[in-house]
Amino acid sequence: MKKQYIKKIPFLALAGFICAVSFGAPQVSLANEAPSAQKRVTQQSQKTIGKIEIGQKFRVPELKLKENTYVLDYILSDINGDVVKDKVMLVGTKEKINGKLYTYASDLSIIVQDGKTNKYVKYNWMSKGTDGNLYGEIGREPNLIIGDYTGNKVNDIIVTAPQGGNGGHVNHLILTWEGNKLKDVLADNQELYTNPQANFSLNLPASWNGHYKVNQYAGANANEIKPTAKHVVEFDYTTKDGKDAEMLLMISVYSKNDWSRFSREEGPPVGSVIAEANGMVYVLTTPQSNPFDSQSKEGKLFDQLYGDLNIKKSFELIK
């Protein structure tokens, strides 16, 4: 795969959507996104965009896009709070291989056409390579999610960019409208984990960066770990040498009926309920004690990471 310099975010079977609730528990390793470039087109286009279709070539002269720029995803939603729906488009460049468009897209950008003024705002999603230079983000079938992530009663733009490969990594971008511009919410190095299949996300503190990994299970695989669970997501602390991993927290998702039966079974409690929605119950399980010597470097860091996590603030249901 080209552009191996892009930082990666642990992710398994993700594909996205996010909205707000409250519970907290920062997640496992998401990639830091490097600063992005943004451009505001001040002149109103002579011709507003007509019908948008995913997969079509996208051309707006004043945006100076490459010839092979395509619409990768599209949502109509008010994202600037003026009660008029805006056109939100995720675009990127694609190459043809054997006459067919390549699955991966490069130079990912988010374009918003204001529903009132028809003016455009373009945000180029950039990542810093290992050489220190900025490069356009890439992704395998990336997509848009709209939801009030910041809690300001106005929709934000969430972009997921799966990287493919055996690692199952995904990069994330969250943009909010601020001062007539799109602002990167994750610019402070916080990390975001999303699991659209299980319908939840976790916003993790910067201290977790590089110290955790995610193991995600669904269906029969989840049932093997937690009987009757539909989804199980483990957030593991990983030692610097990568030779040891210990659970920081686990989130299991059950149907309401299954949880009612399972929680009544004899034995130690499975965990505590942190949310219920759409007939599903979300259960948090944490370690009973620090698996490392509390005075060791690993033990102190484990305690710090656990203490930095606030489940009530970081847990979000995807709506």
Q: What is the pLDDT of residues 233-255, one digit of tens each?
A: 999 998 877 778 899 999 999 99
Token representation of residue 129? 């390579």
Q: How many other β-carbons are positioned within 10 Å of the β-carbon of residue 82?
A: 14
Query: In this predicted structure, what is the pLDDT of residue 133?
Result: 75
6-10, 173-177, 220-224, 304-308: segment of lowest average pLDDT: 6-10
Higher pLDDT, 268 or 80: 80
**Helix extents (H) in the chain:** 220-225, 256-262, 297-308, 311-314
- Can you tell me which residue has the tokens 């990287």? 163
Q: What is the pLDDT of residues 81-119, one digit of tens each?
A: 999 999 999 999 999 888 888 889 999 999 999 999 999
Name, in order, each residue with C-beta under 8 angstroms of 122's C-beta and a sequence gap of 6 or more.
38, 39, 40, 41, 63, 109, 110, 111
Query: In this predicted structure, what is the pLDDT of residue 131?
Result: 62
- Taking Cα atoms as reference points, which of 277, 278, 234 lies closest to residue 252? 234
Sheet of strand 231-238, all strands in order from the earlier edge strand to the far edge:
212-218, 231-238, 245-255, 280-285, 272-277
- Taking Cα atoms as reference points, which of 232, 306, 226 lies closest to residue 269? 226
Q: How many other β-carbons are positioned within 10 Å of the β-carbon of residue 194?
A: 28
Q: Please answer whether residues 127 and 34 qualify as being in contact, where contact means their C-beta atoms are separated by less than 8 angstroms.
A: yes
